[in-house]
């Protein structure tokens, strides 16, 4: 199929490169010239396992190209996948600004027979109540009669997104008509896993069910972990027993006590869901307290650093989780900012963030949003070790694990459960969450 992918961020560039590798002819569209240029030169605009080599291969083979010209991309293709961001608005609701703009652009170039597929996360009702009317008025065509519309939420996890694309936990297709659903299902032919063909708004809601539950599980594990810590118990030993109960049949995913969650999805989707519940006059005390619980956990990490009683701190890891360069709503960024605000002398090491900065992918983000942290980022763990009396471990990258081995008598604050955490618990100068 000939596919245009709108938005070449974490979801879009992975979808574009993976679909191209499956034999589709793909054109990526982004308003960011940096991302378009990176793809054009065969490089991925994000740092992720396997995405670099995959992008290089499909671009060289002519299966993927990129352009800033939305109309040209729509005209050259049969299907448009929309993967633009849906960040939090200041009031906690979901901002649909980028979706609306893309719908106008696609609508302006739409021809009969085209299919528009929304992969971005959006609250139930957004597609039918907001985006279809925009597409129809911009095109003068009718959805379901002249062109197809579907919602096809993305379940990839940053850090393993290429693998997740080819082995998704499920494929969800929200279809307004069967023919459109068939066309979207054909896009993913050969991809394993159950395919759910559901009404559009159900598809929209499934993503919120996932993200709310992930946040809930992480917070549950972290609160239990905090109680264990206070009682002098190894939380992972407790969770090993809890998770081994096969009658409960609980997936261990997100249930190992560790650091606070963050990133561009879980916090904003919980916020969006709670906002939508409030607007609908539904009381959701449990869901409303997931983010405050996460915040309390972040504060606990901050207090561990304070308790270590040295102002020379090395932070290993800055992105919101290992394996990605994504800094959006990273709890490590928040921790760094809190420490800086209290006058701590900080050095930071994060291999993926630095690589992305050198490539130019996240340079703009760091310059605009985190100029105060940019200067503290070092290119080697040795620089951090030379400076730090306290090492805060927020990543399990091999270089960081090697640095921990060389940390000597420095205090180690382990936010990621180091591989030898159980043995380290007994040693002086080690503290874990």
Nearer to ligand NAD, 98 or 188 (CB): 98
Instruction: Identify the CA nearest to 148 among candidates 291, 1, 294, 17.
Output: 1
Length of the chain: 433
> Rounded to 5 degrees, what are φ and ψ at 175?
-120, 140
Beta bridge partners of 349: 316, 378
Pick the binder of ligand NAD from 10, 165, 188, 208 (CB under 6 A): 10
Site for ligand NAD in 106-145 (CB under 6 A): 120-121
Q: x/- string (CB under 6 A) for ligand NAD, residues 23-42? A: ------xxxx--x-------
Q: Cα dist. 167→46, 54, 190, 283, 296 in Å? A: 20, 16, 10, 36, 34
Site for ligand NAD in 386-415 (CB under 6 A): none
Determine, following the binding rule CB under 6 A, whether residue 12 of this chain makes contact with ligand NAD.
yes
Pick the binder of ligand NAD from 3, 5, 6, 313 (CB under 6 A): 6
Residue nearest to ligand NAD (CB): 9
Contacting range for ligand NAD; rule: CB under 6 A; set: 80-88, 276-284, 332-340, 415-423: 80-88
Site for ligand NAD in 269-328 (CB under 6 A): none
SS3 173: strand
Hey, how many other C-beta atoms are within 10 angstroms of the C-beta on 418?
A: 18
Instruction: Identify the CA nearest to 390 among candidates 365, 408, 367, 417.
Output: 408
Q: x/- string (CB under 6 A) for ligand NAD, residues 359-388? A: ------------------------------
Contacting range for ligand NAD; rule: CB under 6 A; set: 1-9, 304-312, 386-394, 413-421: 1-9
Tokens of 309: 């009683």
Instruction: Identify the CA nearest to 433 among candidates 292, 315, 260, 261.
Output: 260
Contacting range for ligand NAD; rule: CB under 6 A; set: 100-108, 275-283, 305-313, 382-390: 100-108
C-alpha dihedral, 376 to 381 to 383 to 384, nearest 10°: 60
Determine, following the binding rule CB under 6 A, whether residue 7 of this chain makes contact with ligand NAD.
yes
SS3 143: strand
Tokens of 73: 């991309």
We find the least distance from the C-beta atom of residue 241 to ligand NAD, in angstroms, to be 31
DSSP state at residue 327? -
Pick the binder of ligand NAD from 85, 225, 267, 317 (CB under 6 A): 85
| CA–CA–CA angle 417, 162, 78 (5° rounding) | 150
SS3 content of the chain, % helix, strand, coil (to 5): 50, 15, 40
Site for ligand NAD in 221-280 (CB under 6 A): 264-265
Contacting range for ligand NAD; rule: CB under 6 A; set: 52-60, 79-87, 133-141, 369-377: 79-87
Q: x/- string (CB under 6 A) for ligand NAD, residues 45-74? A: -------------------------x----
Nearer to ligand NAD, 30 or 128 (CB): 30
What is the spatial distance between Cα 68 and Cα 82, in angstroms, rounded to a whole number? 14
Pick the binder of ligand NAD from 3, 4, 9, 410 (CB under 6 A): 9
**Judging by DSSP bridges, how do beta strands 79-82 and 64-67 pair with one another?**
unpaired
The residues that are catalytic are 265
Farthest CA pair distance, the chain: 71
Size of the site for ligand NAD (CB under 6 A): 28
Contacting range for ligand NAD; rule: CB under 6 A; set: 83-91, 390-398, 401-409, 412-420: 83-91
What is the spatial distance between Cα 391 and Cα 312, in angstroms, rounded to a whole number? 9
Determine, following the binding rule CB under 6 A, whether residue 83 of this chain makes contact with ligand NAD.
yes
We find the least distance from the C-beta atom of residue 152 to ligand NAD, in angstroms, to be 11
Determine, following the binding rule CB under 6 A, whether residue 11 of this chain makes contact with ligand NAD.
yes
List of residues 6+ apart from 371 with CB closer than 8 A = none
Residues that bind ligand NAD (CB under 6 A): 6-12, 29-32, 35, 70, 83-86, 98, 101-102, 105, 120-121, 154, 156, 158, 264-265
């Amino acid at each position: 199929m000939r596919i245009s992918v709108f938005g070449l961020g974490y979801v879009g560039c992975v979808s574009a490169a993976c679909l191209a590798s499956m034999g589709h002819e793909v054109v990526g569209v982004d308003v960011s010239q940096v991302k378009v240029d990176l793809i054009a030169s065969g490089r991925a605009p994000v740092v992720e396992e396997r995405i670099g080599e995959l992008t290089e291969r499909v671009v060289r083979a002519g299966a993927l190209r990129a352009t800033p010209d939305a109309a040209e991309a729509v005209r050259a293709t049969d299907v448009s996948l929309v993967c633009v961001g849906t960040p939090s608005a200041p009031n906690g609701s979901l901002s649909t600004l980028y979706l609306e703009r893309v719908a106008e652009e696609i609508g302006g170039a739409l021809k009969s027979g085209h299919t528009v597929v929304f992969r971005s996360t959006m609250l139930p009702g957004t597609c039918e109540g907001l985006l279809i009317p925009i597409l129809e008025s911009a095109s003068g065509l009718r959805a379901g009669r002249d062109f197809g519309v579907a919602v096809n939420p993305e379940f990839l996890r940053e850090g393993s997104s290429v693998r997740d694309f080819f082995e998704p936990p499920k494929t969800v297709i929200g279809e307004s008509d069967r023919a459109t659903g068939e066309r979207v299902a054909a896009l993913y032919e050969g991809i394993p896993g159950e395919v759910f063909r559901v009404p559009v708004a159900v598809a929209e809601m499934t993503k919120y069910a996932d993200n709310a539950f992930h946040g809930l599980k992480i917070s549950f594990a972290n609160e239990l972990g905090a109680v264990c810590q206070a009682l002098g118990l190894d939380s992972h030993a407790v969770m090993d027993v809890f998770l081994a109960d096969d009658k409960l049949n609980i997936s261990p995913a997100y249930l190992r006590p560790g650091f606070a969650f963050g990133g561009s999805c879980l916090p904003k989707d919980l916020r969006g869901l709670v906002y939508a519940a409030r607007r609908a006059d539904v009381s959701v005390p449990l869901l409303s307290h997931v983010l405050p619980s996460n915040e309390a956990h972040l504060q606990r990490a901050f207090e561990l650093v304070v308790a270590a009683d040295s102002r020379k701190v090395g932070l290993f890891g800055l992105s919101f989780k290992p394996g990605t360069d994504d800094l959006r709503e990273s709890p490590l960024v928040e921790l760094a900012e809190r420490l800086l605000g209290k006058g701590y002398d900080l050095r930071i090491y994060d291999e993926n963030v630095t690589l992305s900065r050198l490539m130019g992918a996240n340079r703009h983000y760091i310059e605009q949003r985190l100029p105060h942290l940019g200067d503290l980022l070092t290119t080697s763990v040795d620089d951090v070790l030379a400076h730090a009396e306290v090492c805060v471990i927020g990543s399990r990258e091999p270089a960081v694990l090697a640095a921990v081995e060389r940390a000597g008598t420095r205090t180690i604050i382990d936010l990621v459960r180091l591989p030898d955490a159980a043995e380290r618990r007994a040693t002086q100068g080690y503290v874990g969450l």
